[in-house]
Amino acid sequence: MRVSRLMLVTLRDDPAEAEIPSHKLLLRGGYMRRVASGVYAYLPLLWRVLSKISAIVRQEMNATGALETLLPALQPASLWERSGRWQGYTAGEGIMFHLVDRQERSLGLGPTHEEVITALAADLLRSYRQLPVSLYQIQTKFRDEIRPRFGLMRGREFIMKDAYSFHADEADLRLTYARMDQAYRRIFSRCGLRTVAVEADSGAIGGSASQEFMVTAAAGEDLILSSADGRYAANQERACSLPEPAVPLVCPSPEAVELHTPGQHSIEDLCAAHGLEPSQTVKVLLLLARCAIGQARVVLVSLRGDQQLNPTKLANAVSAAVGEGAGALLELEPISAEQIRSEGLPEWPLGCLGPHLGDELLSGARSWHPAFLRLADATAAELDVFVCGANRPDTHLVGARWEALGGARPSVADLRSAQPGERCLQDPTQRLEASRGIEVGHIFQLGRKYSQALEATFTNEQGLDEPLWMGCYGIGVSRLAQAAVEQHHDQQGICWPVAIAPFEVIVVVASAQDPVQVALGETLHDKLEQAGLEVLLDDRSERAGVKFKDADLIGIPWRVVVGRGAASAQVELVERASGAKSEMAADAVVAQLQQTILAARGGLALGSS
């Protein structure tokens, strides 16, 4: 391939829209172009990268025995309504593009395919003799992101591999889950990526267990907390830890004492004014939970004053508390004074709330449920004596005790965010360390959530019908390509791993006006191709400096420079990743590159680790 025929247009400066290095470099290097917010055209260089990643994914999926298929992107709302996810994905999070066709039928563009594949399984899988079976596809997905950003990291259209497995029992599901775990590790290793597998929240997909695969990178959106020995790692959404013990509150009176606290509506202000420690306090947070079915619930959360609320853990706790009868949790947002007034309720003492806030405050609400949904983090529930709001303006209680506060006791759950430096739950001698990561894969044990909802049953060995056991396994193919750039780049540009580079070698003719250099460049290009290598020839009539900068920018692993030494058949060989250079005979460079690159391919072969 010749650069002159590649439609390559590189940019000197960083585009204004790009925020992180990988986004900047893919735009500057002519790999992609923005068509609309969160929507990109994959140009020829990037398509070669994506094709190589897809080939690796296919090889490893096929090696597990999975069967490739292709499911429709356009999905009927009726399937999603049966699973209970339509409202959550459209009216709730609102991440699904949806439409109404000419027959007034609602449809959505699939961000995922659990419903479609389960409906097919219900029709096709009837007996335990057909199980287990795994199906996968590589397809364009759609998400109506509120704020698309970071290029392919968080777009509205993206390429994904999603696989689904069906089983007769949970034990068999776990076996396939373990096989997929190993397949994923091989995929990322073959793509030249350093990844870490972490415990994760299952989110809207659901299921009993899930694991994310993170590419470690400073620009990662996710915070990973892990032990130094590598035996524990989790996304902060899911991570657990041992919080530091609370500082005991010395309170001589067995009764709670009122404390005048004018204008002290935050834990920081309260503690600063009265010499308290945040761990001696209980803060109360009010949020409004809207579900697909029923009235909105006011959630009253009690949290130790030095802890941070984990929104994901809270959403899971609320969903569990309201039960499946309430449908999907659509929204969970802090309550404002304006919302309280709009419900026709009297003013609440925000900033001075205590966990014993009475349900009578909700009496007469126009649309809210008449009782608080009360939850407490274990750090708050375990305090014997503490400081909290008195439920009156500018007043707190010192020496409050749960048993003395009265009223309904909250349900206790893990609602706090684990933090770097805290003790590891599995081994208290170790402290959690923080790193950033980019999620490129996620695997789930779905259990029977979808098969029960969509009545996907099979006949077992005893002749009885029971729901299928399911697993789900996703890889963001387009995201993985950009994550590779985020992990492999320098000040000059991209440094592609050999396995997924668009080309393995670029031959740069320093002067297109020198017939000797041109002839040698053409000869090397042809010989390298005949040796089985993927070669790009920069035959443009540009200055040598421009060509060298472009070669560094687009990141081809090996560069052969045909310059002044062409008259004596001497060339320069440059390794992009290390910058190492060596002068050698033109004939020798072909043999060396063939040996080096073919050895690299062999080391990344199917099933290697």
On whether the CB atoms of residues 455 and 123 are closer than 8 A, the answer is no
What CA dihedral angle connects 267, 270, 275 and 279, to 10 degrees? Answer: -20
**272 plus 390 within the same structural domain:** yes
Q: Which CATH number does the domain housing residue 331 bear?
A: 3.90.960.10
Q: What domain range is 578 assigned to?
A: 503-600
* pLDDT tens digit sequence for 410-453: 999 999 999 999 999 989 999 999 999 999 999 999 999 999 99
Q: What is the pLDDT of residue 600?
A: 81
On whether the CB atoms of residues 286 and 420 are closer than 8 A, the answer is no
**507 plus 481 within the same structural domain:** no
* Integer angstrom CA distances of residue 44 from 51, 535, 557: 10, 14, 17
**262 plus 408 within the same structural domain:** yes
244 in a structural domain: no
Q: What is the pLDDT of residue 253?
A: 84
CB atoms within 10 A of CB 250: 8
Q: What is the pLDDT of residue 327?
A: 81
* pLDDT tens digit sequence for 544-595: 999 999 999 999 999 999 999 988 999 999 999 999 999 999 989 999 999 9
Q: Which residues of the chain have pLDDT under 50?
A: 606-609
**473 plus 537 within the same structural domain:** no
User: How many domains are there within the chain?
Assistant: 3
**353 plus 454 within the same structural domain:** no
**77 plus 187 within the same structural domain:** yes
Q: What is the pLDDT of residue 204?
A: 54
Q: What is the pLDDT of residue 602?
A: 62
**481 plus 515 within the same structural domain:** no
CB atoms within 10 A of CB 80: 24
CB atoms within 10 A of CB 519: 13
- How far is residue 508's CA from residue 558's CA, in Å, rounded to a whole number? 11
Alpha helices per DSSP H over 191-286: 267-274
Tokens representing 67? 């069967």
| Pairing, β 581-585 against β 558-562 | unpaired
226 in a structural domain: no
Q: What is the pLDDT of residue 326?
A: 85
Q: What is the pLDDT of residue 426?
A: 87
40 in a structural domain: no
**337 plus 482 within the same structural domain:** no
**294 plus 380 within the same structural domain:** yes
